[in-house]
Structure 1
């Protein structure tokens, strides 16, 4: 699903409810008893054990201004915070010893100078530091002895300053932040804390800038400031007729009811937005002259895709006189490029695009751009089966020409210089002989022509561009080769300075080994599919190993994840250490490849790439004698939970063991935006049968033959637990054995219970797929700070 997993929260303990399935023992030759030492060895392959052993892996930097950026450089001694300028000169970002001492006084417990754990910092106007330490802000003056105070802004210094603590959106001039209170939009002066109410007619379920996508509901404000910090583009979100979702807590005493708006597939009334522009000084609200818009995005399953908390499909003109935005139809099949007059609210539709399946504006970010200074717009389209860029005339709405052409995708436009008529973008599949998932960096003229490759290395490139666009930091790596991070010129890609080169010698000394990339054919016997294989570090090619397939079917992402280097990919290597071959395969229907590849199972979401998973696993079994295709397991979370249940129901003779975590098993019970994009709108025939009915896992529960463990958090506000209970109900009615783990008060990602779930997953595969015996109640422990 478009299911985000960064909102994991746990409110209580956990409980195990099992309907124990009889264990079919493996042949005696493969039966083994695993020890605590075996599990401890596996645990050493989890991220909290491996990440600290990678030195000088600088994957991201933060630009302080046009010519300076800071970064964290980790080694065996700890973390070093550094600043580099555009010439390559490096110096300490601050006195870490003095900062640690100052933070120790205000935090009330020792702060290690080499383990500061800073999430972010910025320099204040008076030369101090605004520190984000584990989500809390501290203002620090390191002159003299060094002093830190809790809080952000001058309000921390003045205990009499009034004002709330609602999360705010900072204006471009950093003087004002906008926030929501009681369904209305307010502003707060950063320096004084003085507040002003901008709107007055917001009411419950019809509030301004409210952030509620059904699966996501926060107190954050969704809006875009004008460049001069005087206007705000936002919306009044109408959920008055939207259906609700309910969850109840597990606790002693009366349970607490959680209720919020959660539109479902097929609902007649879903969340709508009425677009407005607010003049901040006068508090005048201009309502755009158009019908209410769908709560949709051209990129993800929310009106705001969460990149820096912004609103993706909205862009101001530099002079603040006009606002461009893109509206999407409910089924995502049509997108309209529109321009509004900020003073009058008049709206003009410049052009639109309509497609057969779903329109997307990129992969990673919205890639259209508003260029009023040249009366043009850059538009992303997959009209030639690949994601390319096109230039439109704003007056006529007509296509002028293609900016990029041919095979391969533009994934992210990172800078546009209208004066130089140049655009910089990340792209995949545009270089022959390079893995089609490796992102490289290019520049191209807005007037067309062949793009110039700025990052020639055959690797995955992560780019951070300077605010003025003259330089960029490039961290490049592969799944098997750690990162090299350099500062480059945006003009020709030449290296200005090396920032860091990752060293994995301490990691390798533990016995760690990189995953093995592989290629297999898809369901059609022709299309290349790419994956990673994880073997035990004590691998013996003469042995037969059960194989576990980790699956995330998409359609918005795949199983493999990043193609950059990472020392741990979930618990894949850890599970392999216990005596399995673990694989992840990006099947057809996942992004980054051609439009046709991505559309492979549009309208048939129960497909879940499973034909590709089966084809790929069989090919691997034919290639490698050490893979035992009589012992195939599969697991996944969220969309992967859906796919796992589908695998055991649709291919019961192939998949013997499955673990399905938090699956969206019937998308009629999921938030409307995600499923209606990938499956289409719900349609019922003359007999009342929905096109979603045959896509629901519970309908096929009677097909189960193998071992199935279902898991879900009881306070999952992304995929509500009723999704799994529908499958449970069907399995009971079909008289099938299965296992069930419910985690009380856990959200979608399980939070503090995630390590318990990981251990249960290991135990389940060891017992039911390997035919072995796990150590009793091994406890995975996250190291303390």
Structure 2
């Protein structure tokens, strides 16, 4: 029914558009089918790249299927070959995912089937592959894979020496000896502890911190840090399936702002000794990471206070479990986590990143935590660490002053100016090996297809080979224009404008603002391939615009912290400021007909734009929007808005429910009924508030879908519906 309505709206929109004086070439009629069937042209690209001293491993599917297989490229042989498929491991059996594995993949935004993830031992001799509730160990020396340990492991980690697999099972952690297959229970919950898990990362660690494990091996494979989590005090959300009322309700612990978080503890296991790692849990309830140094230096736990204004590195006494503060980072707004840090060197010194001087910098710290020197200047625009070569005293980092691009730079541990390693426009990154110079240079260029080039560090310009993409190419190339625009405020914003390929000077086009506008993500990047869908929309008679304003990363601490205490006012101001500046510069933009669309935070922004600024925005599509921040999770929300009891005004001001009675423009709400990140209750609450206020709106529930929409048929129908909605309410070029 939704598909039928979507195409009816599409036809109605076409009929309402004025007739052009010169017939427009028809947009690619088969695009939506291809776009959906190829999962947005992502299927078939090399992904999950891991580099060993003598080989590169990666996952890859076919162009029109989601089943990934494991491949290897060995420079000595000069070509890639397929190592394993899910069918090889399951011997023809069907893949079955547990409820817990589905939830874990949702946190990782992972929709692939087949071999969806894997890990490689330090020397590249063994690979551990989770599949269908089992753990499979592949030995390169024999070319054989076998199942290890019991079924039902939620997480598993291979020891650095590849001798043992630590498995997080329901309520316990087991160790499996690789050679003999014998296993023993390391720790387990008591019969009176139904809410306790061992060895698993809690919800906010996975969703907000990017930490997906609760097991950490020591480099010598003799000790293990294990997370114990108790969710007894955490509120339970229950998820029923409206399409299947007979299906049992699934309860999930979900910590809302101001309410209880999971109680997270760490235990150090050495041989048969279980020692709790102790710190002030009341003051620092969040465990961001655990780091074992490869050489000198203590075991380190990275913790945060609940308001996230203080981040501490705690050194651990391995004999007693006592801790001390090695380093403390503070910020009056919030401290941003960097999951790559600290990175220890062999002598106990470590790398660290900070925004203390107003922008991200990489630092070298002494073994006692004191600052030795800054390795990058604030102006470099540091974004990440790709390689450390201690022997040569060199690092490779990602950065750049232009947030629309990303480049590679060489930095010396001794200090000095960073040396650019790349110059081609686009986004560059490196996948490297801890114990060698083999690397994969990934480039998403400004124009044309991405490349994955295998080379040696220090000689990236001399390829050893390439990881070939199997992805389909669309039937057209996007034609975007990137520019920086200065608003009436004096602020400058990166922007990209996508015109129809049949654009006619002198005509005025309705505008679509495609938006995220929230923390942690950029919309404007100098890669045309990432604008294929935007080009297809524009080809139907729109000019599509993207802008990055305050609150987004890459422009310094003050720029990103401008949203403290209010998640909508500043993003809305900047998007409007930039949009109106483009309108003044480009007369083809008809700002009397502006649509706005986005997903997640972008969906929230779109709903708020329609509610708060109907003078600017004339139609909105809000996908999976957060409606009331009191109903989102603790770690994300409290970072920006504080605790709701103390900051009620900030929560009210940032809530769409506060303004529901103001709706004066067409609004389409879209939300997956099984979303366990931004729960379906958000769209229901807004729809209910709008209905009670007498405000007509459209509501499209996606039955059975989570925060991701990976189904080809639903993707095709959804995008057709969105296109039809905007053509109906904004019309065509005039």
Same fold (TM over 0.5): yes
Match of 2:255, SS state, is coil
2:505 to 530, 536, 541: 541
Shift of 1:719: 1.0
CA contact (8 A) 2:291 2:299 kept: yes
2:484 to 514, 519, 527: 519
CA contact (8 A) 1:662 1:712 kept: yes
2:322 to 324, 332, 346: 346
Match of 2:294 in 1: 318
Match of 1:499 in 2: 465
Distance 1:187 1:320, change over 3 A: farther
2:383 to 401, 411, 418: 411
- For residues 473-499 of structure 1, the C-alpha deviation after alignment (integer angstroms, 9 at most, x for no partner) is 2122333243354444434x5523263
Within 2, Cα distance between the matches of 1:250 and 1:52? 31
Shift of 1:637: 0.9
Shift of 1:351: 2.4
1:233 to 225, 243, 248: 225
Distance 1:92 1:273, change over 3 A: closer
Within 2, Cα distance between the matches of 1:425 and 1:751? 33
Within 2, Cα distance between the matches of 1:222 and 1:139? 20
Shift of 1:549: 0.9
Shift of 1:131: 8.4
Match of 1:691, SS state, is helix
- For residues 348-399 of structure 1, the C-alpha deviation after alignment (integer angstroms, 9 at most, x for no partner) is 112212111111244xx4332234x43423221111111112233333x432
Distance 1:531 1:294, change over 3 A: farther
Distance 1:702 1:407, change over 3 A: same
Superposed, 1:80-99 pairs within 5 Å as: 90-93=78-81
2:278 to 277, 285, 289: 289
Distance 1:674 1:220, change over 3 A: closer
Are 1:731 and 2:696 matched, yes or no? Answer: no
2:431 to 436, 458, 464: 464
Within 2, Cα distance between the matches of 1:322 and 1:74? 41
1:442 to 400, 403, 409: 409
Within 1, Cα distance between the matches of 2:437 and 2:143? 36
CA contact (8 A) 2:160 2:219 kept: yes
Shift of 1:84: 5.2
Give the RMSD, CA atoms, in angstroms: 4.5
Are 1:43 and 2:48 matched, yes or no? Answer: no
Match of 2:366 in 1: 393
Match of 1:171 in 2: 159
Match of 2:512, SS state, is strand
Match of 1:650 in 2: 612
2:171 to 183, 198, 202: 183
Match of 1:107 in 2: 92
Within 1, Cα distance between the matches of 2:150 and 2:87? 26
Within 1, Cα distance between the matches of 2:636 and 2:140? 48
Shift of 1:323: 0.7
Within 2, Cα distance between the matches of 1:479 and 1:132? 36
CA contact (8 A) 2:69 2:114 kept: no
Within 2, Cα distance between the matches of 1:676 and 1:633? 31
Are 1:665 and 2:639 matched, yes or no? Answer: no
1:744 to 697, 703, 724: 703
Shift of 1:296: 7.0
Within 2, Cα distance between the matches of 1:424 and 1:657? 45
Distance 1:747 1:69, change over 3 A: closer
Listed as ranges, the gaps of 5+ residues in structure 2 are 95-112
CA contact (8 A) 1:536 1:580 kept: yes
CA contact (8 A) 2:671 2:680 kept: yes
- For residues 532-579 of structure 1, the C-alpha deviation after alignment (integer angstroms, 9 at most, x for no partner) is 22233333334322111111122121334x65563655x322322322
- For residues 487-540 of structure 1, the C-alpha deviation after alignment (integer angstroms, 9 at most, x for no partner) is 44434x5523263599999957x333343323222562232x223222333333
Match of 2:399 in 1: 427
Are 1:612 and 2:574 matched, yes or no? Answer: yes
Within 2, Cα distance between the matches of 1:504 and 1:462? 20
2:343 to 369, 374, 383: 369
Match of 1:531 in 2: 495
Distance 1:164 1:104, change over 3 A: closer
Within 1, Cα distance between the matches of 2:269 and 2:298? 13
| Structure 1 stretch displaced more, 542-551 or 745-754 | 745-754
Match of 1:566 in 2: 529
CA contact (8 A) 2:672 2:680 kept: yes
1:638 to 600, 618, 627: 600
CA contact (8 A) 1:59 1:485 kept: no
2:267 to 269, 272, 276: 276
Are 1:693 and 2:652 matched, yes or no? Answer: yes
- Tell me the TM-score normalised to structure 1 length: 0.78
Distance 1:248 1:386, change over 3 A: same
| Structure 1 stretch displaced more, 375-384 or 513-522 | 513-522
Listed as ranges, the gaps of 5+ residues in structure 1 are 1-12, 110-115, 156-160, 298-302, 304-311, 430-434, 773-785
CA contact (8 A) 1:210 1:219 kept: no
| Structure 1 stretch displaced more, 383-392 or 628-637 | 383-392
Distance 1:251 1:693, change over 3 A: same
CA contact (8 A) 1:518 1:530 kept: yes
Match of 1:211 in 2: 201
Shift of 1:191: 4.6
Are 1:593 and 2:555 matched, yes or no? Answer: yes
| Relative contact order, higher structure (CA 8 A, sep 6+) | 1
Within 2, Cα distance between the matches of 1:251 and 1:705? 32
Within 2, Cα distance between the matches of 1:418 and 1:514? 43
- Tell me the TM-score normalised to structure 2 length: 0.83
- For residues 195-231 of structure 1, the C-alpha deviation after alignment (integer angstroms, 9 at most, x for no partner) is 2111134522232233332596999752211112221
Match of 2:730, SS state, is helix
Match of 1:453 in 2: 420
Within 1, Cα distance between the matches of 2:232 and 2:87? 50
Match of 2:98 in 1: none
